[in-house]
Amino acid sequence: MAKAIKKQALGRGLSALLKDPENDIQSVDDKNADKVVGNIIELEISAIEINPFQPRSNFNEDSLKELAISIKELGVIQPITVRKLDYNKFQLISGERRLRASTLVGLTTVPAYIRIANDNESLVMALVENIQRHDLDPIEIALSYQRLMDEIQLTQEQVSDRVGKKRSTIANYLRLLKLDPIIQTGIRDGFISMGHGRAIINVEDLDKQTDIYHKIVSENLSVRDTEALVKSYQESLKPKAAQKAKVASFTVDESEKNAFNSYFGNKVDVKVAGNGKGKITIPFQSEQDYQRILELIKK
């Protein structure tokens, strides 16, 4: 199935604005600052420097390559965040893996949120206003909630107070960001709903997530169908319950077993099933021993 990629409303014109020496925005009070705060801008990678105080220094190469393949196929789903340092010069705040992976596949620009001096409150206002829009898809809303938490250091409870939504609602949106990027794109493009995504997120295996996603799209499954499919998959992962041993309907005590052994001159095996049926096994060591036992039975 061909994967349609939703084109984000990137501020390509704003990129030129940031390069204009006559409009060098340094604070929220500067002209055109309102066009920058809260918007996604296509930024040249060459203008971005890594934060020297970035606590993370080691990046798993295999994981980075997987992300690079995803970006090559789907684009950068979640923009990075940078801080404006000087004229056309920016410092990375968050998203170093995305930036590295974008460079790995040869991209020259990357979608970015621009932070400028003293823009915390302006950013909060812009994000909250953005969340209230009716044309946002669930992933865009989730990303806005995540930005409030990451960049403004708000808790889910504080985000709930700022946007006037229940904490459980915030949590449900944020969980969508744990979905495979292909599925996130599917939600953004309207192939599946948020309800489908909430059902799929209960599957930890990302490969299985995408298998379920493709089945939903190809078979036009409802949310309820998807929930049943996920439940069936989870049931298949549970270890099979060990069958309970059947209890014999009656017991054969040692004296009775010894009576068999004594009569036949061999160790006789006596087994009793739960329904009262059973079997007596009489072993023999040779043809002569067999004939001896046979004579005993004929008596």
User: Helix 167-175 and helix 156-163: axis angle, to 10°?
Assistant: 110
Query: Number of H helices and number of E strands within the chain?
Result: 14, 7
Nearest to 81 by CA among 67, 92, 97: 92
Cβ–Cβ < 8 Å for 52, 79? no
- Supply 187's token pair: 């939600």
Give the span between the Cα atoms of 223 and 252, in whole angstroms. 58
Given 42, 44, 66, 96, the catalytic residue: 96
- Whose CA is closest to 79, among 127, 32, 21? 127
Backbone angles phi and psi of 69, in degrees to 5: -65, -40
Does 96 participate in catalysis according to the annotation?
Answer: yes
Q: Which residue has the tokens 């001896």?
A: 292
Do 212 and 230 meet the contact criterion of CB atoms below 8 Å apart?
yes
Query: Among all residues, which ones are annotated catalytic?
Result: 96
